[in-house]
Structure formats: C-alpha cells, structure tokens
A and B are shown apart, each in its own frame.
Chain A
Amino acid sequence: MTDVSGPLERVVEALARLAARGETIEDEWTYVHDLEKVWVARLRAVAVAGAAAEPPPPGPTPAELEAALDRLVAEADLVTDPHRAIDWLSTLPQATLVALGEAAW
C-alpha cells in the first residue's frame, strides 16, 4: 500500500462532519463521539502501518484508491439526516478499509 495518510485524513474530516450531524440527536452524543474516536484511531493506525510496509501489500492502484476515497467522502457528505449520519459513522470507515484492501474492522 502506498502512503495513504493524506487521503485518509480527508476521510477523518468526513467522519467529523458526520459526527457533527449525528450529535444533533441529543441522546446519542456520547455514542457518536466514541464511534468517531475509535474509527479515527483505526484509520490512522492503518495509515501508519501502510506507509511502513515494505514491500507494499497488493491492493488497488493508487489512482483507483484515490478515486475510491474521494467518492466515499462525497457519498458521506450527501448524508444530511442525523440518523443516517450515525449509520455512516460506522459504514464509512468499513468501506474505506475495504477500499484499501484491509480487514474492515
């Protein structure tokens, strides 16, 4: 895997936007931010491990990966409903990890 820390930070920023939408469900404020925290940690751990991997493991081409993450971020940004945003807080990182060729959990 090539260095994906830049594109993954865009996913992290998208997670923050989803959290901002999801936290408007008052009862779920804690869950929303706990969810964001654990998935951001997972994505950043993957970015660090991927950058250090030698040789890089098989996966999509850099261009395909860049396009995939851009499109996933755009999809997350389409979500306006706070309940859907909470669902996407879990879905976006899983889809991102699949795009990277990583285990999605």
Chain B
Amino acid sequence: MRFQDAAKDARAVVYAGVQADPLVARAAALLADATPPQRVLARAVMNGETTAPESWRTMFPTLFGSTGPAEGSPERDRSEAVLAASLAVAGRGEQVRSQFRGAIVEAVTELLLERRVGAGAIRRERRILFDGVAAEIHPYDVTVETPGVAEAYDCKWGARGISADVLHQLDDARAHATAEGGRLLPVLVVFDARRSCEVRLARQTAPRTGTRLVTIETLDRLSGRRAEVAS
C-alpha cells in the first residue's frame, strides 16, 4: 500500500484555490470547536437563501434567544462567529458555495484528526496504490498515513453525496489493503444527520460494513472524543 499525491489537473488546480481561501480555514476552525446545534446553524445558513443575520437569529432561539447563552458569553460569541462565517460562504453564490462547503467539511475533518494523530500524519488529495491493482481516478480527500495502519476519508456536505461509487472505492481500498497484509480504515464523513445518511444508504447495495460513517452529530469522534449529547 503506497500513497501518492493526486495529479494536478485543471479541476484540481481550481479547487486548490478554494481550499486555500482564508474563509475555508476560518469556517473550519469555528466548526471544529462548535457544538452540534452550532453546526446545524452553519449547515442551514450555508444551504439557505436569507442573508439577513437577524432572520437566522430568530430561527435559532436556543442559540440567540432570551433563554440561550448570554450576549458576551463565549458560546454566544461562537454562535455569532459561526453565523457570520456561514453567511460569508452563502454570499459567494450558488455554484461557488457548493465548492466551499465541500472544502470546509474536508478542512474540519483534517483539524479534528490533527487532535488525535498530529498534523504530520495527515495528507490531503492523495491516491492509494496497491500492487497489481489499477489506481482509482478520484483521490481521497484526507488520509492518515501511519506505518502499518492507514485511514482514508471521503468528505461530503450532505447525505445525497453518498453514492455507490463512493462506497465501492472506500471498500475496495480496505479490501486491497487487507490482501496485502496491511490495514486501512475507510471513513465517510458527512456534514448531515445520520438519519438522512441512513435513508440514503438503505437502498444502496454497495458494500458498507467495513466503512465507518461519521455524521454531523458525531464529528468529534474524529478527534478521539465521544460525541456530546446535543441540546
């Protein structure tokens, strides 16, 4: 099992520009430390039409209302920061924001993994090569490359991004690694509720039992922490 940087085709070059945008890093840093309700706020705003912050504050009274965290408290400040960053993403326009959303999920995944394995073991946009096996065209969004054990992450904004192709690629990599006597853990990270992901997966016939699913409510498991109970 070997790792290789993905080829820099035109799509990759354009997307690298999105990944390097400071707004991606800003949103990812906020979401890495966010509570589950704050992550849902980000998902709604980045999916939404309304650009007025007050409307979103009305929609999320447990974060911004009279019985929520007090103004000036760290949690309220983080909610405001998540709202501002999410509105900035939404303001980029429909086509661009979908690329930003994907890049943000990848960046959050990387940040949370860093807390568990350290930055040195984490790479982005990598292909995984096995002896005698044709390489997959699509690189993995994030990989953890440690001797003997590797992890490959495919990151999706929504449950609808789960497809047979994705499931097959992840499971094939796991099986090839096993055949070589190695170990590779494939993980699907989806910035959406598990309930929606399970609906998507229910009618898929592609193998998934060897692939771990991390969803918006369990993102903190990437860092080795148990998911907090949402409130």
Q: Which residues of A contact B (CB under 8 A)?
A: 28, 30-31, 34-35, 38-39, 42, 58-61, 64-65, 67-68, 71-72, 75, 78-79, 81, 84, 86-88, 90-91, 94-95, 98-105
Instruction: Indicate if B230 sits at the interface (CB-CB under 8 A).
Output: yes
Using CB atoms, name the residue of chain A closest to B196.
A90
Question: Which residues on B sit within 8 Å (CB–CB) of A38?
Answer: 195-196, 199
Instruction: Indicate if B91 sits at the interface (CB-CB under 8 A).
Output: no
* Pair A98/B68 contact, Cβ less than 8 Å: no
Instruction: Indicate if B47 sits at the interface (CB-CB under 8 A).
Output: yes
Instruction: Indicate if B92 sits at the interface (CB-CB under 8 A).
Output: no
Chain A to chain B: the 7 pairs with minimum beta-carbon distance, closest first = A60-B61, A64-B61, A90-B196, A103-B230, A78-B49, A105-B193, A98-B37
* Pair B199/A91 contact, Cβ less than 8 Å: no
Instruction: Indicate if B221 sits at the interface (CB-CB under 8 A).
Output: no
* Contacts across chains A and B counted by CB atoms under 8 Å: 117
Give A89 Cβ to nearest chain B Cβ, in Å: 8
* Pair A61/B65 contact, Cβ less than 8 Å: yes
Using CB atoms, name the residue of chain B closest to A73.
B59
Instruction: Indicate if B138 sits at the interface (CB-CB under 8 A).
Output: no
- Place the interface of chain B in its size category: 35 or more
Give B56 Cβ to nearest chain A Cβ, in Å: 9
A102 to B173 CA separation, bound complex (whole angstroms): 38
Known: A30-B203, A67-B58. 5 other contacts (CB 8 A): A31-B203, A34-B203, A87-B160, A90-B193, A94-B43
Instruction: Indicate if B4 sits at the interface (CB-CB under 8 A).
Output: no
Give A84 Cβ to nearest chain B Cβ, in Å: 7
Within 8 A of A (CB), among B120-161: 158-160
Using CB atoms, name the residue of chain A closest to B39.
A104
Instruction: Indicate if B200 sits at the interface (CB-CB under 8 A).
Output: yes
* Pair B50/A64 contact, Cβ less than 8 Å: no
Instruction: Indicate if B40 sits at the interface (CB-CB under 8 A).
Output: yes
* Pair B47/A84 contact, Cβ less than 8 Å: yes
Query: A61-B67, A90-B196 known; A68 and B47 CB under 8 Å?
Result: no
* Pair A99/B159 contact, Cβ less than 8 Å: no
Question: Which residues on A sit within 8 Å (CB–CB) of B216?
Answer: 94, 104-105
Query: A64-B66, A104-B36 known; A75 and B61 CB under 8 Å?
Result: no
Within 8 A of A (CB), among B44-58: 44, 47-50, 55, 58
